[in-house]
């Protein structure tokens, strides 16, 4: 296994930078997920690492060795593509065994490993079929199996579960987590599915339009998004974003939002750059919108417009004023119906603040550890008087 570095890597197609100054250190044994919307440059980054695409500028290293000029074959990586490329004339067994035959793995050992992987991926009854006779999901599992049998320095996976149905995808996610733990493998995994990123990654690198927006553990990304893009891209349902205003009461900073005044710890945030206005974006996760306020005096009123029961929880969309709706997650079977007027409270412990112009988080990073984290737990509420 090996570590991986991207150092100021660019990829231009024509004049257009598709990957823009990507710097990323991936540790040996890490499960790093590149997450971002369609077209943000994930596959291109992975293809550069695989040696299928050459960086326009910058350095890529695997196991401390610069690989920019090294052909794909010499990099000892195994790639599972978005459009799994299988040998059409070989059976599933032939596809799985191909790499091992090249490496002259003894027959008994080859059969043992093949059997293990085919069992793991549920491919045993398909070993004599050819790719054309398989469903998309089955082909994807063969491609994954072939990569697993390679035992490379680094696994590169590009949406390897995208063609599986929901049940199988959840099962394979769990299998990949187990495999990663067992093999202690370095995996670079591309997806736009945040559930995959959150559940499997040791760290997530969020990309937006060719840029790296933030790197961190799934919990860091969720709890302390570095900017509005990350905040609204990660988290389902999406974070609520409303406009607030920073001001002061008795020389202490306060945040005015949704008709409430919330006292702020001055050490917890920086003032917006665009100082012409003190307006900020305030992010509130749906689980921090509470539909049963303890203290009615703290309540914001909302008219319920949409109720979405999901079984384990219900999503409620309520209109607070002409321009503001809030989405709340409430327990299942909460008796709330469309048209109801409900009282809402926001959990001010977990608010997020963003500069309206730069859209960067205004919450200050903590000094603990090398990974940047923002600490939103420093808000204190002003008592209603
Ligand atoms: N060979 C190419 N020539 C020109 N443009 C390209 C080429 N390959 C990719 N692009 C462009 O680069 C951008 C990033 O593509 P890429 O495939 O890396 O996106 P992605 O993040 O993997 O998206 P998706 O989630 O849809 O797979 C896209 O706008 C794409 O059109
Ligand atoms: Mg892609």
Q: Please tell me whether the peptide bond between 323 and the residue prior to it is cis, using omega within 30 degrees of 0.
A: no
Q: What is the mean pLDDT of residues 57-74?
A: 95
Residue 147 near residue 157 (C-beta atoms within 8 A): yes
Token pair for 209: 């339009």
Q: Which residues contact 308 (CB under 8 A, 6 or more apart)?
A: 314, 315, 316, 317
Choose one of 40, 49, 81, 212 to mutate for the ligand 1 pocket test, by most ligand atoms within 8 angstroms of C-beta.
40
Per-residue pLDDT of 162-199, as tens digits, reads 888 888 888 889 888 988 998 888 999 999 999 999 99
Higher pLDDT, 240 or 385: 240
Neighbour tally for 138: CB within 10 Å: 20
Residue 374 near residue 365 (C-beta atoms within 8 A): yes
At 384, the pLDDT band (50, 70, 90 cuts) reads very low
Nearest Cα neighbor of 239 from 286, 195, 197, 277 is 286
Put the strands of the sheet holding 300-309 in their side by side order: 289-290, 341-346, 300-309, 314-321, 324-330
Nearest ligand to the CA atom of 37: 1
Token pair for 287: 């689980």
230-381: CATH, from 3.40.30.10, 3.40.50.12780, 2.40.50.140, 1.10.10.10: 2.40.50.140
Atom of ligand 1 nearest to the CA of 53: 1
Atom of ligand 1 nearest to the CA of 13: 4
Nearest Cα neighbor of 317 from 331, 306, 330, 301 is 306
Residue 131 near residue 88 (C-beta atoms within 8 A): yes
Token pair for 353: 């603040």
Kindly report, as residue ranges, where domains of CATH 3.40.50.300 are found in the chain: 4-229
> What spacing in Å lies between the alpha carbon of 208 and ligand 1's midpoint?
12
Atom of ligand 1 nearest to the CA of 44: 18
> What spacing in Å lies between the alpha carbon of 109 and ligand 1's midpoint?
40
Question: Which stretch of DSSP H or E encloses residue 249?
Answer: strand 240-249
> What spacing in Å lies between the alpha carbon of 190 and ligand 2's midpoint?
7
> What spacing in Å lies between the alpha carbon of 305 and ligand 1's midpoint?
38
Highest mean pLDDT among 67-81, 209-223, 261-275: 209-223
Protein residues near ligand 2, an ion, with CB under 5 A: 43
Highest mean pLDDT among 56-65, 244-253, 275-284, 355-364: 56-65
Give the CATH class of 4-229: alpha beta
On the question of pLDDT at 281 being above 70, the answer is yes
Nearest ligand to the CA atom of 193: 1
Please give the DSSP secondary-structure letter assigned to residue 132. G
Average pLDDT of every residue of the chain? 89
Q: Whose alpha carbon is nearest atom 28 of ligand 1?
A: 39
HSE value, Cβ hemisphere, 13 Å, CA-based, for 9? 30
Q: What is the mean pLDDT of residues 284-301?
A: 81
Q: Whose alpha carbon is nearest atom 1 of ligand 1?
A: 13
Is this prediction's pTM over 0.85? Answer: yes
Kindly report, as residue ranges, where domains of CATH 2.40.50.140 are found in the chain: 230-381
Higher pLDDT, 182 or 297: 182
Per-residue pLDDT of 4-33, as tens digits, reads 999 999 999 999 999 999 999 999 999 999
On the question of pLDDT at 371 being above 50, the answer is no
Question: Which stretch of DSSP H or E encloses residue 257?
Answer: strand 252-257
Per-residue pLDDT of 105-159, as tens digits, reads 999 999 999 999 999 888 999 999 999 999 888 888 899 899 989 889 999 999 9
- Distances in Å between the Cα of 331 and the Cα atoms of 249, 279, 291, 292 are 36, 33, 10, 11
């Amino acid at each position: 296994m090996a570590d991986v570095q991207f150092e100021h890597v660019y990829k231009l197609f024509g004049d257009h930078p598709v990957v823009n100054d990507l710097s990323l250190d991936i540790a040996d044994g890490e499960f790093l997920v590149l997450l971002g919307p369609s077209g943000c440059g994930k596959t291109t980054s992975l293809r550069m690492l695989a040696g299928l695409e050459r960086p326009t500028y910058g350095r890529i290293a695997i196991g401390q060795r610069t690989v920019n000029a090294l052909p794909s074959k010499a990099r000892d990586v195994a790639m599972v593509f978005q459009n799994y490329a299988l040998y059409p004339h070989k059976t599933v067994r032939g596809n799985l065994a191909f790499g091992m035959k090249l490496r002259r793995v003894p027959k008994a050992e080859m059969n043992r490993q093949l059997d293990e992987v085919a069992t793991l991926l549920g491919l045993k009854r398909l070993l004599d079929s050819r790719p054309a006779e398989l469903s998309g999901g089955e082909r994807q599992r063969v491609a994954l199996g072939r990569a697993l049998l390679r035992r490379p320095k680094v696994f590169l996976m590009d949406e390897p579960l995208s063609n599986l149905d929901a049940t199988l995808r959840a099962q394979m996610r769990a299998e990949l987590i187990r495999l990663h733990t067992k093999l202690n493998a370095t995996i670079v995994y591309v997806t736009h599915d945040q559930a995959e990123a959150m559940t499997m990654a040791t760290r997530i690198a969020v990309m937006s339009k060719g840029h790296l927006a933030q790197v961190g553990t799934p919990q860091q990304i969720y709890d302390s998004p570095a900017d509005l893009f990350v905040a609204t891209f990660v988290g389902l349902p999406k974070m609520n974003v409303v406009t607030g205003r920073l001001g002061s009461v008795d020389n202490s900073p306060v945040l005015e939002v949704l008709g409430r005044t919330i006292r702020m710890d001055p050490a917890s945030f920086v003032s917006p750059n665009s100082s012409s206005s003190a307006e900020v974006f305030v992010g509130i996760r749906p689980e921090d919108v509470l539909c049963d306020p303890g203290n009615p005096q703290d309540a914001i009123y909302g008219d319920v417009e949409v109720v979405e029961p999901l079984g384990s929880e219900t999503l409620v969309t309520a209109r607070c004023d002409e321009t503001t709706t809030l989405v709340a997650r409430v327990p299942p079977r909460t008796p709330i119906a469309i048209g109801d007027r409900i009282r809402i409270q926001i959990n001010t412990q977990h608010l997020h603040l963003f500069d309206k112009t730069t859209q960067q988080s205004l919450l200050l990073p903590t000094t603990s550890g090398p990974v940047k984290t923002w600490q939103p737990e420093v808000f204190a509420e002003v008592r209603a008087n």
